[in-house]
């Protein structure tokens, strides 16, 4: 196994640990402190990766330091999402929580736009320049996260819900144990609702890059442009679905989204098979800006409302990260296996549909929350 693979697995496997560690911090010390710590850690570790000497300079220390930095990144990622979501949702007006809670979800399309654009730029460098310094540029730019962390530290107030809970009832002594004792079923259901989101994301944004270039003969640049186009549109559709959930409910929007996800996998691969650039871009816009946001856009607020304030940071973060472990690495491999076994993308579409149905069932039992008071 390559060092890059080991480092990636190390980072991914630490995300649930990060959810537990920073969930504990966020539920006991405050949302703001946990979020600032995760953002600063992520920014510094990613920037350090861009500064690491290569193997020729320091030998085995180069891969070891890379693995350590990826480990720390994974811990930070595990707690970062929950902190961003709770700062927003717990501070939002009750009738606009879905809309405001959708804005932290914009990190995914924004990340796709920035990372894909930078990748296109640096991959155009001559190979010697790319290997010498070009690959470092995306990592060094992450220092911006440190600036964001400092801004939050100096400018953003602690969430009113946490401050009130801390003053009146006191904080949980062991948030994870209290969460599993009082909300264990909700945690499992929340994990299940993530399958529709994560599996769709990994098929469209990971597997299809290889499938499109190797099997359909599509230009990789076209596929990257299609992802960027879909991500730009998603900047508007994610808040739109969040706002819709303020009117008709988180579960209602999500269940309707699961039905669309189940059907769109078949449509998506049929559109790709035309090999027509405009149709391919349309397929990605439908996938990245509709199929994913119609389920993803409401999950931040839904998860936050599903758990009590005492354990909300851990409760929102843990299902999100555990589901990522269960889906992110296996999904492209499962999709590749299904295509190799059957020579068709229809079984892959069926795989997406079956997991969307699973998420739909979990959503029904997780319950509606949009009229709930945060306590």
The answer to the question of residue 375 being in a domain is no
Of the pLDDT bands very low, low, confident and very high (cuts 50, 70, 90), residue 153 is: low
Q: How many CB atoms lie within 10 A of CB 336?
A: 14
Flag whether 230 is in a domain.
yes
- Domain containing 97 equals 3-366
Task: List, in sequence order, every beta strand (DSSP E) within 242-311.
Answer: none
- Determine the pLDDT at residue 14: 52
pTM check: above 0.85: yes
How many structural domains are present in the chain? 1
Q: Which of 350, 361, 192 has its CA nearest to residue 264?
A: 350
CATH (domain of 328):
1.20.1250.20
Return the number of other C-beta atoms located less than 10 Å from residue 210's C-beta.
15
Question: For residue 371, is it within any domain?
Answer: no
Backbone φ and ψ for 249, nearest 5 degrees, come out as: 110, 150
Kindly report the CA angle at 100 between 99 and 102, in degrees rounded to 5? 70
| 215 pLDDT tier (thresholds 50, 70, 90) | very high
Give the mean model confidence (pLDDT) for residues 313-338. Answer: 93
pLDDT tens digits for range 17-58: 899 999 999 999 999 999 999 988 988 898 899 899 988 889
Q: Are 338 and 328 in contact (CB under 8 A)?
A: no
Is there a domain that residue 90 lies in?
yes
Exposure class string for 112-146: b at 16+ Cβ within 10 A, else e: bbeebeeeeebeeeeeeeeeeebbbebbebbeebb
Note whether residue 268 is domain-resident: yes
Q: What is the DSSP string of 202-235?
A: HIIIIIHHHHHHHTS---HHHHHHHHHHHHHHHH
In a domain, 197, yes or no: yes
What 8-state DSSP symbol labels residue 157? Answer: P
Task: Please check whether residue 121 lies inside any domain of the structure.
Answer: yes
């Amino acid at each position: 196994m390559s060092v890059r693979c080991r480092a990636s697995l190390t980072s991914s496997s630490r995300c649930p640990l990060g959810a537990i560690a920073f969930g504990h911090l966020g539920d006991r010390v405050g949302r703001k402190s946990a979020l600032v710590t995760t953002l600063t850690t992520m920014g510094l570790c990613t920037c350090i990766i861009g500064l690491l000497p290569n193997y020729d300079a320091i030998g085995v220390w180069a891969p070891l330091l890379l693995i350590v930095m990826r480990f720390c990144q994974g811990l930070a990622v595990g707690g970062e999402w929950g902190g961003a979501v709770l700062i927003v949702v717990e501070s939002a007006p009750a009738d606009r929580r879905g809309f405001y809670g959708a804005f932290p979800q914009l990190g995914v399309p924004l990340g796709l736009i920035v990372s894909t654009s930078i990748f296109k730029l640096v991959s155009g460098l001559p190979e010697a320049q790319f290997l010498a310094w070009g690959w470092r540029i995306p990592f060094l730019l992450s220092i911006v996260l440190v600036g964001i962390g400092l801004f939050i530290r100096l400018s953003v107030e602690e969430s009113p819900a946490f401050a009130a809970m801390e003053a009146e009832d006191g904080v949980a002594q062991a948030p994870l144990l209290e969460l599993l004792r009082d909300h264990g079923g909700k945690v499992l259901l929340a994990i299940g609702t993530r399958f529709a989101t994560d599996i769709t994301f990994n098929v469209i944004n990971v597997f299809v890059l290889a499938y499109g270039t190797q099997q359909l003969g599509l230009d990789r640049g076209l596929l990257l442009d299609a992802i960027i186009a879909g991500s730009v549109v998603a900047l508007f559709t994610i808040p739109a679905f969040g706002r819709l959930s303020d009117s008709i409910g988180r579960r209602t929007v999500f269940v309707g989204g699961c039905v669309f996800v189940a059907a769109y996998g078949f449509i998506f691969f049929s559109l790709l098979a035309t090999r027509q650039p405009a149709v391919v871009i349309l397929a990605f816009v439908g996938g990245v800006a509709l199929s994913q946001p119609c389920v993803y856009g409401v999950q931040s607020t839904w998860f936050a409302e599903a758990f009590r304030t005492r354990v909300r940071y851990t409760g929102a973060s843990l299902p999100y990260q555990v589901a990522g472990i269960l889906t992110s690495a296996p999904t492209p491999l499962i999709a590749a296996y299904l295509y190799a076994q059957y020579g068709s993308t229809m079984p892959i579409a069926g795989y997406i549909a079956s997991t969307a149905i699973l998420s739909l069932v979990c959503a029904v039992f997780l319950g509606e929350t949009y009229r709930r008071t945060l306590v």
